[in-house]
Amino acid sequence: MKRIALVLCITLLSLSVFAQGAPAQKSVTLTFIETSDIHGVIYPYDFVNAKPLTTSLAQVASLIAEERAANPNVVLLDNGDSLQGQPTVYYSNFEKTDGPHIWSQALNYLGFDAIGVGNHDIEAGHAVYDKLYEEVQASVLCANAVKPDGTPYFTPYSIVVKNGVKIAILGMISPKVPDWLPPQFWTGMEFEDMVESAKKWVPIIQAKEKPDVLIGLFHAGVDYTYGNVKKDTRFNENASQVVAEMVPGFDMIFVGHDHSGWDGMGWDPATKKKLEVKDPNGKTVYIYGALNAARKIPVVNLMLDWNAEKGVWDKRVRGGLVDVAQYKADPGFTAQFQGGFDAIKKWVDRPIGKMDGVITTRESMFGDSAFVDLIHRIQLDLSKDPAMGLAPADISFVAPLSADAKIPTSVDGTLYVRDMFNLYVYENFLYTMTMTGKQVKNFLEYSYQFWFDTMPNDGNHLIAFQKDKEGKLVFDARYNTATTQTRYYNHDSAAGINYFVDVTQPVGQKVTITSMSDGRIFNPDETYTVAINSYRGSGGGGHLEKGAGIDATTIRTMKLVNGATTKDLRYFLLKWFEGQTEAVTVAPIGNWSVGPADLVAIGMANDYPLLYPAKK
């Protein structure tokens, strides 16, 4: 296969750190390849939907082999979020745990130089990632995850030498992990602000190592305003560009987490356009990041020419995103991992029950839906089972975890293990916690504030979309869809209470709760037990803190949590279906509605094609 031309930009840079004398080679080209957010897509096969995939790590293996054949000075980086997604990794995480993890085997086989840590890797739990990181031969980097005494939990940085060039790689993770995951997943760790951590470690690296090249490997996104925060917000979820702009010394930063795909430029949140990123000294810092699921990955050539007069390396950067779909799976890689493929497929193809009808999350975007209500129903059922370690719940909170999922995948209604990965995408645990009626109401107001727009409005949109300075909708070029103000997994609805959402009312006054669904009076001053997943219960999305008004310390220390499952919710969903003696009938519960009906109908007609455009 012909090498893909990577022509984006060529810029002359000069190194700010002086090398230790003249190098033996006066010109060196380094090739950086980054994978990130693979989410278990190791094989070119979708184990969830039982069909081939157009991209996978097996195809990336072919790209890596091609680049190494052209230039032996390849620096291979992975930026985390590998241990959640396809059943491939779930199987190694929790089902077959008696041997090396399939992900560590893949990393070692391909010869990665450095590995970053992602929040979904931490989500797998200590037993999984502690074991896996012992198996990985490459350095596992994360400077801002520290022990209580302030020393790094992981290796903060590593040194890679290629053809005499000394490359320092600093790793960091989004510091929001405690807001997303239960404390038992990250015991022994605290998470520092990324800018503060970089300001601490970069001078140490420069003084101690005197590298020729400084690279950032950050599992954090680029848009620092995501989540309605500001550039100077401490513990910013997506601070990669902020680090580049505030901490001098970086040549390139490879990012992950946001699944956006970055080709050397940064982001201007005011204009919603890309821009050139410069550090405090005016030096350009190039930002690259992969698309998730190995769809596109950065391949970047850093060309160094020794400037004898100045005693530094002059640098040119040339690179971009490579479409992995253009590559075939590497035969050697495929043969090496064929046994794992067969075992995983056998497991996901196991039948676990039957369902009457088909349910989809597309309906969940516009109101009450059978898909989300099935999860509500199971959460409430599980909470009443004494074996679960939960308190019987009065109310359930659930959001769709995919914007376009459908089950079952079979034509005859048979449910398989694989369907559970469409029903519930993430490895969240189930909590029960106490909340007052007022907190429940404010929680829902917060959810619908970013879910539904106030109607009527310009364009008569039901969905709350992002808009640019001119008031035009912001589109995601990857999918040709309008970008919502918050992601679908923050669109929480409730079961156990009856309520109405009036989209003509202002923010904070859209929700009217009429009663408990069992006929009891809903009392704002009464305390209720709520079934909620661990992401939301740990503060994810801001519903508990910014919505319900519960302080961050109370959330993080789980003071209101009165029960938790010992395994992930998907496991118990699977067991629930196995326990049913007949086909499960699915339908909306009908405990809530959105109106007025005429405006909602107009809004749905306008917005459905913006979220689900017709395929060309």
Question: What is the torsional sign of CA 96, 54, 488, 363?
Answer: negative
Read off the amino acid at residue 191.
F
Residue 581 is predicted with a pLDDT of: 95
Yes or no: say if 422 and 402 are a contact pair by the CB < 8 Å rule.
yes
SS3 of residue 183 by DSSP: helix
**Any idea which residue has 């505030």 for tokens?**
246
Q: Is the dihedral of CA 276, 278, 284, 290 positive or negative?
A: negative
Return all residues near 338 (Cβ < 8 A) that are at least 6 apart.
none
Tokens read off for 70: 């052209």
What six digits make up the tokens of 342? 């067969």
The angle, 0 to 180 degrees and rounded to 10, between the axes of the packed helices 370-383 and 569-578 is 90
- Say which amino acid occupies 48: V
**How does pLDDT run across 202-223, given as a tens digit for each residue?**
999 999 999 999 999 999 999 9
Measured CA to CA in angstroms, residue 129 lies from 39, 167, 608 at distances of: 14, 26, 40
* Dihedral, CA of residue 504, residue 510, residue 516 and residue 522, to nearest 10: -120
Cα(248)–Cα(250) distance, integer angstroms:
6
What is the fold, at CATH topology level, of the domain defined by 350-611?
5'-nucleotidase;  domain 2 (3.90.780)
Q: Establish whether domains 13-21+32-344 and 350-611 are of one fold.
A: no
Distance of CA 399 to the CA centre of its chain: 16
Task: Flag residues of the chain having pLDDT under 70.
Answer: 1-21, 616
Among the four given CATH numbers 1.10.150.130, 1.10.760.10, 3.60.21.10, 2.60.120.10, the one describing domain 13-21+32-344: 3.60.21.10
- Region class of 37: left (phi > 0), else alpha (psi between -120 and 50), else beta: left
The overall pTM is greater than 0.85: yes
The one-letter amino acid code at 336 reads Q
Structure-derived torsion over alpha carbons of residues 133, 241, 538, 398, reported in degrees to the nearest 10: -110
Contact of 56 with 44, CB cutoff 8 Å: yes
CA distance 538 to 180: 5
Contact between 358 and 422 under an 8 Å Cβ cutoff? The reply is no
State residue 24's pLDDT score. Answer: 84
| Torsion sign across C-alpha atoms 335, 339, 341, 345 | positive
CA–CA separation, 292 and 56 (whole Å):
10
**Which structure tokens are listed for 388?**
């679960």
pLDDT of residue 22: 79
DSSP assignment of 550-566, as one string? --HHHHHTTTTEEEE-S
Domain boundaries, the chain: 13-21+32-344, 350-611
